[in-house]
Amino acid sequence: MRLVLLRHAATAGNEEHRYVGMRTDEPLSRRGVEQCARFGTCTDVDKVYVSPMLRARQTAELCFPRARILPVPGLEEFDFGDFEGRTPDQMEHDAAYRTWVDGNCEGQCPGGESLKDFVRRTKDALFGLLRAANKRGEERVVVVAHGGTIMAALDGFYNKHVGNCEGYEGTVRFEGDIAILCDDFVIRG
């Protein structure tokens, strides 16, 4: 099976370098719509699985205009809790933020989730989707989600960063009911 993981196009919060997680359901910015136009339209995709967030749905609708859009709970971005909507500069003297950053952003955000919980949520949603798609005989699965979701799915939260309207494509193989991401994932966008 081929898997395409595409990050949504830009939002105002992305452009302002804000923590835009699962609590901020903002639309694409003008720049985001332009990114989708540059990405192009894929008319040979019949379904796209998306994060339920508006920015992911809009990206899917623009890039895959003939596809059925199927929201998948669990693929939402990280829950930044009290840090949501704020920039790093705004929080440079915030003790809770400094503690989280100094802990490699692995601890729980106040009022939000921990990296461990986020990765588990993301992988449960994605691998459940992949198992179901495999049972239906789908040969290609397209997912439009978030940068953090993609990094969590690819086991490299900090070393698999993708820009807006970029992503990865690679192979998923199955051993029984277990989905295994192969090491051939390459940048796409």
Task: Write out pLDDT tens, residues 103-118.
Answer: 999 999 999 999 999 9
Block residue for tokens 């992503």: 167
Block residue for tokens 């903002």: 26
Task: Write out pLDDT tens, residues 119-140.
Answer: 999 999 999 999 999 999 999 9
Average pLDDT over residues 85-104: 97
Q: Residue 157, SS3?
A: coil
List the one residue out of 164, 145, 149, 129 whose CA is nearest residue 54. Answer: 145
Alpha helices (runs of H) in the chain, residue ranges in sequence order: 12-15, 30-39, 54-63, 95-102, 115-135, 147-153
Average pLDDT over residues 11-19: 97
List the one residue out of 30, 66, 32, 62 whose CA is nearest residue 47. Answer: 66
Q: For residue 99, give every residue at least 6 positions away whose Cβ sits within 8 Å of its Cβ, in sequence order, or none.
A: 107
DSSP one-letter code for 111: T
